[in-house]
Amino acid sequence: MSRDLLVLDQVRLDVPAGRDWRTLVENVSLTIAPGEAVGLVGESGSGKSMTARSVLRLAPPGARLSGRIEFDGTPVLDLGPRDLRALRTRRIAMIFQDPRAHINPVRSIGDFLTEAMVTHLSVPAREAHARAVRLLADVGIADGERRMRQHPHELSGGLLQRVMIASVLAIEPDLVLADEPTTALDVTTQSEVMAILDDLRRERGMAMLLITHDLELAAATCDRIAVMYAGRILEVQSAEALVQAPRHPYTTGLVVSRPSIDRVARRLPVIAGRPVAAFEAGAGCAFQPRCTQAGPECLTDRPPLRELAGAQVACVRAEES
């Protein structure tokens, strides 16, 4: 049996806040196998994006990153600048949620797509150009030669996100970190972009970590789903099992609050209260103030993630669900 491609073990991220430190990610443990798609879902501020960025050590200035992060058996936190740069440019690629903020506006689309191939993969310029045109076609962009001469401001958000995906595929990575890749897109374009990304991932055997607040999207795209709240992972299950039989009260709240075309509801159920960041959580379970099943033990005990009937759950009352 092949080993996991990515291993996160007790990963913690603290950032400076004046004379104090604020915890954004706390004791996160997660694995991704080669070719597997794992979704990381949760409300805004739960630490999803920071977890993904930690994989590439893209932490905020002055941050403290600890725990164990291994990629293909290599400890990422021990890498020197040269090896870390090679990891970022050849084996792990990231798709950001706002392509306009991550594509140089004064350079052409062709420059953006071919730079990594020429600089890091030593592909001849002419061959890199031809490969970029083919990649544009792969992600659904016609007339690639014309698009290569254009600049970011000449393309719509949907087209730019496709360009971002093409740039990731250009280096043929083993792992794709997709951070809310469809947030800025309309519903139709969202569906098209995710279908393209999922098809290409399967064709090329890439693993993927999909960061999203959209549980429906994660369930349709991923093999497994991890649910995150206040900087911690509360539940991990297969996508189908998590949607059909969630084990953590927070996951249950997310599942029942989804709109559905199969039922009429005058008002959608919601999770009362507001989400908190890791540094705002008290001594007990971070979800306790919003949980309808909380007991006295939830005020003092911070339950660890544990195995339970094929799932991983961080709840002292998970057996009752």
Which of the listed CATH numbers 3.30.300.30, 3.40.800.20, 3.40.50.300, 3.10.20.80 matches domain 6-320?
3.40.50.300
Q: How would residue 148 be classed by pLDDT, with cut points 50, 70 and 90? A: very high
pLDDT in tens, 81-113: 999 999 998 899 998 878 888 888 999 999 999
Residue 182: how many CB atoms within 10 A of its CB? 24
Six-digit token string for 14: 């603290």
% pLDDT > 70, the chain: 97
**pLDDT at site 2:** 60
What is the rounded average pLDDT of the residues 162-176? 89
Q: Report which of residues 151 and 261 the model is more confident about.
A: 151
Q: Report which of residues 221 and 1 the model is more confident about.
A: 221
**pLDDT at site 107:** 93
Q: How would residue 189 be classed by pLDDT, with cut points 50, 70 and 90? A: confident
**pLDDT at site 258:** 77
**pLDDT at site 1:** 47
Average pLDDT, the chain: 90
What is the rounded average pLDDT of the residues 253-277? 81
What is the rounded average pLDDT of the residues 226-230? 96
Start-end of H helices in 10-92? 48-55, 81-86
Short-list 218, 243, 165, CA closest to 37: 218
Q: How would residue 75 be classed by pLDDT, with cut points 50, 70 and 90? A: very high
DSSP 150: S
**pLDDT at site 261:** 66
Say whether 154 sits in a helix, a strand or coil.
helix
pTM confidence score = 0.90
The yes-or-no verdict on residue 9 having pLDDT over 60 is yes
Strand arrangement, sheet containing 224-229: 92-95, 175-179, 207-212, 37-41, 224-229, 232-238, 311-313, 306-308
Domain boundaries, the chain: 6-320
Task: Give the span between the Cα atoms of 81 and 84, in whole angstroms.
Answer: 5
Least confident of 27-41, 121-135, 251-265: 251-265
What is the rounded average pLDDT of the residues 45-55? 94
**pLDDT at site 265:** 66
Say if CB 209 and CB 174 are below 8 A apart. no
